[in-house]
Chain A
């Protein structure tokens, strides 16, 4: 059997879902970004700013120095984790809007494991083990929070969009309660809704002193590869994609569709939970109410922009991170409020989801999918 593998290999199959080249898949997203930046320039000019100066500031703030680069990666890592979470859901045909709640729960659970476990065991926990435990518990919390809507969808058909939104409210309010009450940092001077610092043993050590660049970013890149491998190279990935693309065919193929939905949602939730857990264990060393505001929602835009492909998610995350990170410098240089960045991001999202606009502006022909309908028969 192994001899077979030694034979000259067939030309490796192209990326299975899209037979088209990278540039074809990402043409619309790239043009969407360009268009949004041009429109953004107009808005900056309109409110009395200098667009060139503003964008220069944005670039400098994002990439202009080692510190700027380091900060961009700090923004990027939760984006990548959460963006992957949304992408995995999408591949399974599931729209996980609940990233925000899953992320918050992941952070809460990881920080709890980080400061409370040594007390419970009445012992020091070896660092590696403690880190793994904290991160693992964070992921588990996210997985449960994503898995519940998945289970409801699989068993009752309840739509995951509604349920993940509901779960967001529950998670965010519960977090608020926990951080203001049972899990509140008890130090006398503290007035903020935050947990105590996690134990030293639960902290992922910094890589470079004085820079916030952390292992989470490297893990995020590795995980992007891992998710790609899982989705396109493994049995489970095949089952998730088949269920997502055609549940009837999945059933015919003998795939347990209900189980696959639960797995895909749990996986998605675990990735979002990981985003929160890493923020706690690698960066902030505690969870503070409101630190994450928006990661889970931005992740939806990132997944859309990245066409739900891990590589696209990484690129889109870097873009969003750069914009968020560069915005302060931009404001400092030009007095343009950082909110302009939210406007540009919203425009990107608009152009990516309404791709007909972009196609019209740049006269790109629509893929000939329509033609498919005219071949053969059907019922």
Chain B
């Protein structure tokens, strides 16, 4: 097989970090090459270099055997490289067609030739089996379809090498299936794909080759037929990882949080939470399972004071906190790991140390008589960075400079380290590597054992199954069942989430 892309000896230093250390990597024509590695291993950096977003300090890039130098993504695109960023770069108020031609506009007599673009898109869609309506507005599309738009955008620019940086982190299981079908079709047509993910199951099911990175270096390139999850995990992290959470049965105490007949609307004024009720007790983990978009986001926001609910009742211990502001909830003992970390979770430009006190900056020891205490804030940061293994050269670098997974760890560290009574954890391990997931799962279970009530919202069935003591299934804005975790199988849960199984064992 021909090698379409080869990088040799790529080295990239950032202040205080060696992000890529003499990396060799190659991609063959028509293969799916997965890139694995712990948070901060340098995967995104390597891809940014290949895509011309960052220039390497050393090393060379060969495309079809020819050495090339990229000054910007334009050069990379011209060489047939396309990249789908996890952070989609689409203009929400533009149509699909407009987004796709943005940057490579076709003109006829000085006017945008939208007709031609629509025709081209139809062709592309049929060629690769990417169903899409070129005239729909991007902000009306679900995440999975938006991602498809990004892929088509790359193909429209004649990409032959497609880089997908953590494409599955925000997708529902069904959307992941669809994406894999598309990727396989692309590969059949001779396109080569680099695929970054933290999900080992996915890697094993789709990749032709797997390259593992750690600490900026390539550790190994494996054949998926000759390896398994456990081996990959150890290669990534450099030690044995226990992929199963072990926990003792819960010893639930008094109710800490109760939600009764809660109704919430989303931004478009559509009621997406329709009469939800549940209770969480001290020392138990209640998992909320559901396909994304069934009201979990709005439920979590209403519970945590970020969104105004229409009606219902929310109580912390015995106090009514319905529609109370976040500060009040935090002071009554709430911890919250928000779903959209870049929106709610931290201030990008702030140093890590400030983001680690984002909810407690105003209380002693971090603030005295209205004045921030920098030494206390710094000490806190150093402790948490050590305890949660946040990979950073210093507590004072802007949080935007951290790798995706390490940004998540900042939030988790902050919320778990506060003195809380209950925790609302929404997708707590999204974007994290297996080692960090292991650690955070362990921490959550430990918090439970210390008597904290946990509401775990996750799109990962595995995570729900592994952590929860009870599982509530959410479908179309309602909780269709609350079941003990050991009384339900993965398959049953899947069916209930799809709305096709009406449970007989109802609320417990």
Contacts and interface: CB of A to CB of B under 8 A. Distances in A.
Is chain B a partner of chain A in the same complex?
yes
Interface of A: 1, 4-5, 9-10, 12-14, 16-17, 19, 233-238, 242, 245-246, 248-249, 251-256, 368-379
Contact of A235 (B85, B372, B395): B372
10 contacts: A19-B351, A19-B398, A234-B371, A236-B370, A252-B306, A256-B327, A371-B54, A374-B47, A374-B86, A377-B166
B351 A254 contact: no
B166 A242 contact: no
A235 B357 CA distance: 12
B44 A234 contact: no
B323 to A, nearest CB: 14
B446 to A, nearest CB: 25
B143 A379 contact: yes
Contacts of A17: 349-350, 398
Interface in B341-361: 341-351, 353-354, 358-359, 361
Contact of A19 (B170, B359, B370, B396): B396
B396 A376 contact: no
A377 B403 CA distance: 10
Contacts, number: 149
A130 B162 CA distance: 73
Nearest to B86: A377
B48 to A, nearest CB: 6
B400 interface: yes
B62 interface: no
A234 B306 CA distance: 25
Interface in B328-380: 328, 330, 336, 338-351, 353-354, 358-359, 361-362, 365, 367, 370-372, 374-376, 378-379
Interface string B38-71: 0000001001100101100000000000000000
B346 A249 contact: yes
B325 interface: yes
A9 B365 CA distance: 16
B29 interface: no
B361 A377 contact: no
B47 A245 contact: no
Interface residues on B, range: 35 or more
A286 to B, nearest CB: 38
B170 A379 contact: yes
Most chain B CB neighbours (cut-off 10 Å) among A1, A253, A377:
A377
B165 A245 contact: no
A246 B348 CA distance: 8
Given A12-B374, A376-B341, A378-B86, 8 more contacts: A10-B375, A233-B374, A235-B362, A235-B370, A238-B361, A246-B348, A376-B408, A377-B430
A180 to B, nearest CB: 44
A157 to B, nearest CB: 14
Given A374-B87, A377-B431, A233 B343 contact: no
Nearest to A376: B404
Nearest to B330: A254
B145 interface: no
Contact of A376 (B166, B306, B361, B398): B166
B182 interface: no
B87 A9 contact: no
B235 interface: no
Interface string B373-409: 0111011001000000000000111101101110110
A228 B82 CA distance: 45
A14 B53 CA distance: 27
Given A371-B48, A376-B431, A16 B375 contact: no
B407 A252 contact: no
B495 interface: no
B91 interface: no
A9 B395 CA distance: 15
Contacts of A234: 370-372
B52 to A, nearest CB: 11
State the 3 A-B residue pairs at the shortest beta-carbon distance, nearest first.
A376-B404, A254-B327, A377-B86
B358 A249 contact: yes
Contacts of B349: 17, 245
A246 B87 CA distance: 17
Given A235-B370, A373-B87, A374-B48, A13 B351 contact: yes
Contacts of B220: none
Contacts of B165: 374-375
A254 B193 CA distance: 43
